[in-house]
Amino acid sequence: MSKRRLKGWKEIPMGGMVTEPGSSVEFDVSAWRTFKPVIDQSKCTKCGLCWIYCPEAAIVIKEDGRYEVDLTFCKGCGICERACAPRAITMVKEESA
């Protein structure tokens, strides 16, 4: 769990607006998850749909062409699992894999 000090209500922008684009890379959201995606590389066809649909850009393409999940930015929403036609992605409970 992060020890980062959270801003008080007087310090955050009105309406909680995001005023710095791209600032999400500064936040580790791994503690938010209950489930995490696991990719079965033997079923992956490298279609790229998980990469396109992931709202957090947490799917990364390795130099050898493998698709992997950067769990620092994955919230565990499961959209990638739904997008994967060959069912290469399975959402598993955090503590089980």
Interface ranges with ligand SF4 (CB under 6 A): 37, 39, 44-50, 54, 56, 58-59, 67, 69, 74-80, 83-84, 86, 88-89
Is-contact 36 61, C-beta < 8 A? Answer: no
Nearest to 23 by CA among 70, 69, 66, 56: 56
Among residues 12 and 57, whose Cβ is nearest to ligand SF4?
A: 57
Cα distance between residue 87 and residue 22, in whole Å = 30
At closest approach, how far in Å is the CB of 4 from ligand SF4? Answer: 21
Torsion of CA 57, 78, 84, 93, to 10 degrees: 110
Q: Which is nearer to ligand SF4, 27 or 74 (CB)?
A: 74
28 or 48: CB nearest ligand SF4: 48
